[in-house]
Structure 1
């Protein structure tokens, strides 16, 4: 074997070892976070490393208003309580849209997939990241129940510059706890998730308010875990 061949072999072995170590770390954190509050994520860590301040307070499932949980499912993942982490129909729709536009503009991501990205990955769009996201999604769905997944999602989602989690968002925008959010407030906060930093300073944006109305109409049909 040539020197170059040996180098490639060592490189591949080192890369495979790093991949294994990464997934072992992910599994370990998921086991810890199955019962313990999550006060950090890749998105929060990135925000801190770039000099930002993170505001987040953990809220358990029963400390989050029913309307907020309904809004999240109605807006982000209508089949959340039924699927195993992947909405195959949504993925197919996203694939066709991406083929039509020639870029990865749509992801068809479920709540679990978004949680996997927020906790361990970055917002960079690529098929490699989507593949890693899929692996972590399977791990989350295997180790956690649906209530834990929804609770974690609502606690680590970004609602503005440095504002993470539904409790911090409720306090920042409405000066109340997440448990006391009403339907209008819940629908508005969840509608902000598509572009939270922009909507933080543009609360009357027409697209935001239109989505708020749509989410509010769909909330009653959302099946909670």
Structure 2
């Protein structure tokens, strides 16, 4: 199951969409196993209202129970309403893997490079029987909420906000520790793979780890005699 939220924050608000998504994931984890939370970058354009980066967030839940979808929607909706920020335009969408079709995948890809509309998002949701709801303001968040479903399904877009215990790493650590924390591969953009050594991250910042073809990858680059985080989005 995939739960996507978008447009839940404001420029002056106390938290962003990513933090809210992690709160939803923590609440859901009391009842269902959560694989992770991903962030997906959408189109930045003058015609698209957004706060800082125009990104959505998706919670990946490992369940195929017939009654899970309604319960997941209710949990996410309640957490969002309890932490609603005045001036935000949140949207919420929940779908199972079998509901994610080529049309939805293309919609997600379009959302990264073109201006989309609520009408297209709502029509797509209706045709695919996907639960989609605006939870305040203009409800423009339904556009990104639908997009995130298609992008997350491919497991080859964006980056993780939460998976395993990787977020607990806030300084340099060994490649072996990254593997133990939930990373599948540490490599450079030229294809060099690393199974030993120490990777240095910005102090106080966790690694940026990305879903790539279903694998969780940390990209690094060689700087002098050490490996450093090569940030990807």
**TM-score normalised to structure 1 length:** 0.26
Q: Greater helix share, 1 or 2?
A: 1
Between structure 1 and structure 2, the one with the greater Rg is 1
Work out which structure has the larger RCO, using CA pairs closer than 8 Å and 6 or more positions apart in sequence: 1
Q: Greater strand share, 1 or 2?
A: 2
**TM-score normalised to structure 2 length:** 0.25
